[in-house]
Each structure stands twice: as structure tokens, then as C-alpha cells.
Amino acid sequence: MTMNEMNAIDPQPRRVDAESLKAAIVDKLAYAVGKDSIVAEPHDWLAATILVVRDRAIDRWMESTRGPYRTGAKRVYYLSVEFLIGRLLRDAMSNLGLVEPIAEALNSLGVDLDAIEALEPDAALGNGGLGRLAACFMESMASVGIPAYGYGIRYVHGLFHQEIKDGNQIELPEDWLSDGNLWEFERREAAYDIGFGGTVESDGMAGDTVRQRWQPQEKVLAIAYDTPIVGWRGARVNTLRLWSARAVNQIHLDDFNRGDHVAALADLTRADTITRVLYPADSTVAGQELRLRQEYFFVSASLQDLLRRHLKQFGTVENLPDKVAIQLNDTHPSVAVAELMRVLVDLHDIPWEKAWAITRGTISYTNHTLLPEALESWPVGLMERLLPRHMQIIYEINARLLQSARKSLDADADLLASLSLIDEHHGRRVRMGQLAFVGSHKVNGVSALHTELMKETVFRDLHRLYPERIENKTNGIALRRWLMQANPGLIDLLVEAIGPAVLDDVDRLVEAGALAEDAAFQERFAAIKRANKMQLAEVIRSTVGVSVDPDAMFDVQIKRIHEYKRQLLNILETIAVYNQIRMHPERDWAPRVKIFAGKAAASYWTAKQIIRLINDVARVINNDPAVRGLLKVVFLPNYNVSLAETIVPAADLSEQISTAGMEASGTGNMKLALNGAITIGTLDGANVEISERVGPDNIVIFGLTADEVAAQRRAGHNPRAIIGADDRLRTVIEAIADGVFSPDDRNRYRDLVDNLMTTDGFLVTADFDAYCRAQREVDAIWREPASWQAKAIRNTANMAWFSADRTIRQYARDIWDVPVG
Ligand SMILES: *Cc1c(COP(=O)(O)O)cnc(C)c1O
């Protein structure tokens, strides 16, 4: 035992009844916020409340952190460039069982909890699903009792704030830290040097090889900021440790005194830039060097930190795989493979083979995309300049990889070129996904379909060489956040109907399935949905000024705007319905509200055009009296976790309509189905498994399968022929091309239309007819309310398998080899 816990001084655990909490809030308001209750503003009450909840989290935090020192338990380190956390107050209160007493305490002080909660900034340190997965996993690891640390970057500006002006997306900087962040603790003791550039020099012998030493030319400091992540019932509190860059020399005084203020502050600016902004993951080549700097910066800091902790406790790196599991969330942290090898070989004098066994035993990698353009690769020249020693190590790993391929696969030149960590075709680049693959003991995909496609496409040859390495771990979501917190009405109903045990054992949700046909239960289930829709209707009215009928079907597509997610297919079908309503006003139309939300990467022109088209179509349809309110279209700006928490519980229909084979998993699909929305979707990503779990009668599946998409592409997709043969589709496209929705600029959508008619790379036209038919099937179900409610209930009842707790237990058992509670 290296830590002397005998002498640990424990604080007095705090009381959690409403009366004590009230006193604590008043105390914090005075002594921590420095405000008199007479003049306190809502944000002051929020600060006092956060501090009171934080204290109660800290009581559990210390104990959780101490545990592994006492027991020698293995720790899990989750490395991710994105953590899409959202607000933390409700999460922490709910998991600590404090929602009711805090609400009561505040109420007696004349303060409304809901109102102050809405003032907490939404931490958007991520783009979308991948970052939200990391956040859900942090909550789940704490809930199932795994000692875990999340490691990431403390971006000063998270994902941009989206506004819509004249239908266009405008990007404004997101300033989540501008009023401080009460959840985080700066850790001065956890500050590390991070090197860049410079040279590699020989430095004596290590055994029978020459020891290499990297002499970086430039150094910045990484400073840790810790946020406690509270698990369910406060069982464990884990740490999210985010790194901020700081210059070693904040200022060069001599330059400053000479009057050259820019030179004086150059180091400061250079360091500051590293953790200033989150890079949009979908952007192309711009800012490559900065992105690589960000990745190496946080990987190096994280490895130094976990090795310091490990060495302090065990005094050796040899048992690293037994005590440490490092999970790479996608390709961005893959330089960890080379960095860990460098540390072991150069700094700890471990022979190569042994270092490689330790590295591979410790690291594992999650792949999140099959899109070749999204699998990172860095120009060899850039790597050599920024990370010269790592480049040498990558060459050595590659030489050994190709050697073993020659031996075990009898590989020819083509196969070797495909396996190589160096892509020779595109101006010599390092393939970071392959580096992560070879440096890991397990590589996982995020849905059954995605994992199979991984074996056939991106990693086909590596899979032949290492057939045991790829495994599936279908994504999940934190049910506490996405059901219990986001939809309190529904969880209360479920507790009443099937008992409170469901709160601790979500698999019991399945018991609600027995009530699917029960008229009284259906009525209450529907009433909760309607109340949630009323709330969303109010948000819609106040943000975009459109009034919508809560009795209409709320049809939602909320996710990043991307061609493969096919918001375009949705809006084309919307236009087709619009045309039909005008042509056949006498028919019995099921009233719908089409709700869209999502951000487009700032540099993604086509995605921004799609946003504009949705807004143009919305303006025309919402203002056409001939529609008689039967159809409304709404684009809600600035999609983020908080907005998702408002939309998801209010959705009737969940649009999951990606081109099959392109959505690795999806998690939005899970949140919506869990909250009783019926899915209309393609057989893509986790939709396949959702369909299996909820049953084919409770989901509407349409369109080409992944195999059929591949076949259609091979055969040569001909959108012009499809459009020519379908009057409805042709009319829709002509309307867009003729400027029906853009009378002020008839050519606005020329490129979008041209693209649809010539290439249609995401097979929108190929699935259009099937999608329209599927939507009419949805209408038919909607007209039978009892049938709709039964299906909605069966969705909720059968979604517990998509709990992130299940996913985390599978990682723990199959990849990390750690026990779970
Ligand atoms: C869940 C979630 C996502 C992922 O949505 P998909 O539909 O799976 O792409 C993206 N952004 C936010 C804010 C989310 O909560």
C-alpha cells in the first residue's frame, strides 16, 4: 500500500433532507456566491444550488477514487476528443436522489428549480452521436461501478451556436465557460509537459539496442480540470478529466518591454490555440496540423497522467494490462499506440516485443465510421515534422506488421500495400485507423451490421490477418438521462404500473408490454405524450413563432445535417404530401408537424443548402391557407443535448432514414423509441436491432438494404430514369428547380437538384417511392389510436436492452476484463 489511508481525514457527509438543503443553499448563496437573498438573481440561486449538489457528489467522489488504491482494482480510461455532456445539474441531482428535496428547498425560498436549471450552460464539447456516447458511457460506468476516468479536451469554445437567419445557418461561437464552470476543479498537481517537433538523438544503450530520445523543440503545458460524474443512486462518482493547454512562458518580458507585444505573447497564443475550439469532425483538410496537435496533446497528457498514477501505486509498468484498460473512442486518439510504445521503449527501457505486448494488452479501439474519408490519415511529412520519434515507431510497427503478413498470409504486393500503415497512393499518409487496429487487443464496431461491414470493407485485410480481433458492441444510451430525467411523467407512470424496481433494474421495462392493449394504460400513456407535446409546442412557438397543434402527429428528424442521414429525402416527401393535400383537399389527411433540428458542419455547403431548403419549404407550407394546418414544417435552431431532452419525449414518429450501410449505429433512434416514438427507418445501424427487439409490427421499415445499396451502386445508379418514371417525384423536383420555394432566387437549389438528377450519391431517389409508401402506412396506423398507442408502448417496453449499462457490461466483460457491480 503506497497511500496512507489510515490518516485520511473524512469530511462529515452532508444531510439531504429539504430543510438541511435549504439551509445549505442559503449558506452557499452568502459565503460562496457572496449574495444577499434579497438581491440574488436567478443565476446566483443556480450557483448556490450547484454548489450544494456538488458537495454531496464530492462525498462519494473521494471514496470512489480511493477504492482502487485499496483494492488494486483495474481502472478504465476512456479517451475521446468529444464529450457531449449537456447540462449536469439534473443528472447529478437525479442520480443522488435530490430532485424532490432540492425543488422543495428552493420552493420555500421562492425559487423555481426548472427556471434556474434552464440557465445552466449546455456543455457541447462534441459534434453529435460519438460525443454523446462518451457522455452516456461516463454515466453508465459510474452506475455499474467501474472505476473509470474520461479523458478529453477542455475546449474553450464547444460546437458553435447555430442561428437561422433568412433560412440560413449562422455559426456563432459557443461560450460555455464565459460565466465560469462550477462543476470543475483545476488540478495544479496534474500539469504535464507536451512536446512537439525537434529531433531524435541516440542516447546510450538499452540492453542490446541503441536508446532513442526525442528532443522536442517546443513545449506546452497540459493542465487538468476535473468534473465529478455521478452514477445512479450515487453508488460511484467517477472523474471526467479535461485538458487545457497553457504556455510554459506566458510572456516574454524583454519583447514586451521593447514594445513588441505580439512576439511577447506568441507562446501564449500558440498554446492557447490548441484547446481553443472543437474541430468539426466532418470538415475536410483545413487545420490539419492543429487537429493533430490537439490529438497528440490530449493523448500525451492522458498517458502521462495514468502512468503516474499507476507507477505511484504499483512501481512498475510491467503489469499495465492487468491494471489499466485504455479505450480509444474512434480514431482520433490512435497516436496513443505510438506514444505508449515510445514511453515504454525510450523512457522505461522495455524491449520492443515486451513493450508491444503491454501496449496491445492495454489498448482497445472503437471504430465509428466506414466512410473512408472520415478515417483519419496524416501526411507523413507532417508527422515527421511534428512527431519525429512517433513516425520512426510507426515505421517499425509497420515493418513488423508486413513481416507477419508475409509469413501468415503469404501476402502479395497488393495485399501488403492494403495492410500497410502507410498509404502510398495519396502522397504518403499514415493511416491512423489501421494503427489503432494493430495496436489493440480488441477492435469493436457499434452495431451488429456496422461490425459485419467493418470486416468486409475498411478492415477486410487486417481482419484476415487477425480474425479474432473484431467484436461487436452495439451502442446504448443512459436511460437515467433519456427516460427518467427527460420524461418524468412517463417514468412515474411506469413505476406506478410495474413497480419501483424498474428504477434499478431497467430490464423490467419489458413488463409494461403486457399493458400495451390495456385501454386505461393506453390513455394515460397518451396523456403523458400529449403533455410533453404541449411543452414542445410552446418551445416551437416561442423560438420560431409557429403555432402547432399538439394533437397532430409530431414527426421528428433530429441529428446532424448530413447527406447520408437524408434529411433531403424527408423534405422531398414533405413537398409531395403538400402537393397531394392541395390536389385532394377532400381526403382524410392525418395532420402532421414535421420537426427538424440539427447543425451542419460549417464547411459543408450541401448540408447548409439542405437546411435552407427545409426553411424555405417551411415558410411556403406554413403560410399556405390551402393546407389548412394539416401540415406544418419546423426547423428548431441550435440542436444540442438540452433541446434533444425537450423534443425526444414529445415525438410520435422517429425518422431514421439513412442510406443503408452508412449509419454506424445511431443513438437518437434509441432515445426516441424508448420514449414511445414509432420508428420509420431503413435497415441501417442499430435500426436493425431495434426492429428485432420491438418486433416488426411495431416499427415501419422501408427501402434498400445495405446489400442492395451496394448492388445498386455496382450496377450504376441512374437517378434520372427513376425520376422520369415517377410523376410525384418529378413534380417535387421541378417545383424546387422552378423556385417555388425560393421565389426571390430561383436558381438557389440548382446545384442540389443537379446533384440529385445526376449522381444522387446517397440514393435518395432510389428509396423515394418506398419511403412515401411507408409514410402512408404510418398514417394508417395513426388513424387507429388504440393500435398506435399499443405499438408506442411496445417500443418503450422493449428498449431496455439499449441501455448503455448493457453496453458497458459487455465492454467490461469482453474487452476490459473488469468486474461490474
Ligand atoms: C443522441 C444525440 C445525437 C446522435 O443522434 P443520431 O440520430 O444518432 O445521429 C446527436 N446530437 C445530440 C445532441 C444527441 O443528443
Distance 128 CA to ligand 1 centre (A): 5
- 215-262 pLDDT, tens digit per residue, is 999 999 999 999 999 999 998 999 999 999 999 888 888 888 898 888
Which residues in 763-774 are b (16+ Cβ under 10 Å) and which e? bbbbbbbebbeb
Among 228, 215, 189, CA closest to 89: 228
For residues 105 and 165, state if they share a domain. Answer: no
Residue nearest to atom 3 of ligand 1 (CA): 129
**Per the residue annotation, which of 74, 332, 473, 559 is the catalytic one?**
559
For ligand 1, whether the C-beta of 666 sits within 6 Å is yes
Cα–Cα separations (whole angstroms), residue 66 to 8, 96, 634: 10, 19, 50
Give the number of other CB atoms < 10 A from CB of residue 143. 28
Which ligand 1 atom sits closest to the C-alpha of 645? 15
For residues 38 and 136, state if they share a domain. Answer: no
Among 344, 328, 353, 339, CA closest to 436: 328
For residues 111 and 202, state if they share a domain. Answer: no
Which ligand 1 atom sits closest to the C-alpha of 84? 13
Residue nearest to atom 8 of ligand 1 (CA): 666
For ligand 1, whether the C-beta of 641 sits within 6 Å is yes
Distance 259 CA to ligand 1 centre (A): 49
Residue nearest to atom 9 of ligand 1 (CA): 559
Distance 668 CA to ligand 1 centre (A): 5
Distance 804 CA to ligand 1 centre (A): 14
For the chain, count helices (H), then strands (E). 34, 24
Which ligand 1 atom sits closest to the C-alpha of 667? 8
For residues 623 and 765, state if they share a domain. Answer: yes
For residues 450 and 572, state if they share a domain. Answer: no
Residue 498: inside a domain:
no
- 775-819 pLDDT, tens digit per residue, is 999 999 999 999 999 999 999 999 999 999 999 999 999 999 999
For residues 561 and 597, state if they share a domain. Answer: yes
Distance 330 CA to ligand 1 centre (A): 16
Distance 687 CA to ligand 1 centre (A): 14
Q: Where are the alpha helices (DSSP H) in 631-763?
A: 641-647, 668-674, 687-694, 706-715, 719-725, 727-737, 750-758
Residue 509: inside a domain:
no
Residue nearest to atom 5 of ligand 1 (CA): 668
Q: Which three cell numbers stand for residue 772?
A: 412515401
Q: Sorting pLDDT into bands at 50, 70 and 90, what band is 59?
A: confident
Residue 448: inside a domain:
yes
pLDDT at 209: 87
Among 553, 551, 535, CA closest to 543: 535
Distance 667 CA to ligand 1 centre (A): 6
pLDDT at 266: 86
Residue 538: inside a domain:
no
pLDDT at 785: 97
> Is residue 329's pLDDT more than 90?
yes
Residue with cell 441531482: 93
For ligand 1, whether the C-beta of 131 sits within 6 Å is no
Which ligand 1 atom sits closest to the C-alpha of 640? 13
Q: How far apart are CA 651 and CA 528, in angstroms?
A: 11
Domain of 728 in residue numbering reads as: 545-802
Element (H, E) at 171: strand 168-172
pTM assigned to the model: 0.97
Residue 272: inside a domain:
yes
- 611-627 pLDDT, tens digit per residue, is 999 999 999 999 999 99
For ligand 1, whether the C-beta of 559 sits within 6 Å is yes
For ligand 1, whether the C-beta of 719 sits within 6 Å is no
Element (H, E) at 60: helix 42-71
For ligand 1, whether the C-beta of 150 sits within 6 Å is no
SS3 423: strand
- 694-747 pLDDT, tens digit per residue, is 999 999 999 999 999 999 999 999 999 999 999 999 999 999 999 999 999 999
- 668-677 pLDDT, tens digit per residue, is 999 999 999 9
Residue 332: inside a domain:
yes
pLDDT at 821: 77
What percent of the chain stands above pLDDT 70? 98
Distance 639 CA to ligand 1 centre (A): 9
For ligand 1, whether the C-beta of 87 sits within 6 Å is no
Cα 798 to the center of its chain, rounded Å = 23
Reply yes or no on whether 312 is catalytic. Answer: no
Among 413, 580, 478, CA closest to 140: 478
Q: How far apart are CA 359 and CA 232, in angstroms?
A: 33
Residue 485: inside a domain:
no
Which ligand 1 atom sits closest to the C-alpha of 670? 8
For ligand 1, whether the C-beta of 644 sits within 6 Å is yes
Q: Which three cell numbers stand for residue 481?
A: 438521462
- 166-215 pLDDT, tens digit per residue, is 999 999 999 999 999 999 999 988 799 999 999 999 988 888 889 999 99
Residue nearest to atom 15 of ligand 1 (CA): 641
Residue 338: inside a domain:
yes
CATH number, position 220: 3.40.50.2000
**Ligand 1 pocket, mutate which of 137, 641, 659, 674 (most atoms under 8 A from CB):** 641
For ligand 1, whether the C-beta of 244 sits within 6 Å is no
Among 803, 747, 738, CA closest to 510: 803
Name the domain count of the chain: 3
> Is residue 14's pLDDT more than 90?
no
**Per the residue annotation, which of 154, 390, 481, 560 is the catalytic one?**
560
Q: How far apart are CA 403 and CA 391, in angstroms?
A: 18
For residues 735 and 788, state if they share a domain. Answer: yes
Reply yes or no on whether 368 is catalytic. Answer: yes
Q: Where are the alpha helices (DSSP H) in 173-250?
A: none
Which ligand 1 atom sits closest to the C-alpha of 558? 7
* Mean pLDDT computed over 682-701: 98
**Ligand 1 pocket, mutate which of 278, 667, 689 (most atoms under 8 A from CB):** 667
* Mean pLDDT computed over 657-674: 98
* Mean pLDDT computed over 486-507: 97
Q: Sorting pLDDT into bands at 50, 70 and 90, what band is 13?
A: confident
Instruction: Quote the Cα angle for 671-639-171, to 5°.
Output: 155
Residue nearest to atom 1 of ligand 1 (CA): 668
For residues 52 and 77, state if they share a domain. Answer: no
Task: Print the SS3 string covering 67-91.
Answer: HHHHHCCCEEEEECCCEEEECCHHH
Pairing of strands 631-636, 470-472: unpaired
Distance 84 CA to ligand 1 centre (A): 9
**Surface-to-core class of residue 218, CB atoms within 10 Å of its CB (0-12 exposed, 13-18 middle, 19+ buried):** middle
Reply yes or no on whether 671 is catalytic. Answer: yes
For residues 343 and 235, state if they share a domain. Answer: yes
**Per the residue annotation, which of 565, 599, 608, 693 is the catalytic one?**
565
Among 611, 633, 615, CA closest to 559: 611
SS3 47: helix
Distance 48 CA to ligand 1 centre (A): 31
Reply yes or no on whether 559 is catalytic. Answer: yes
Which ligand 1 atom sits closest to the C-alpha of 666? 8
SS3 673: helix
For ligand 1, whether the C-beta of 668 sits within 6 Å is yes
For ligand 1, whether the C-beta of 132 sits within 6 Å is yes
* Better pLDDT: 281 or 487: 487
For residues 155 and 104, state if they share a domain. Answer: no
For residues 226 and 197, state if they share a domain. Answer: yes
For residues 257 and 283, state if they share a domain. Answer: yes
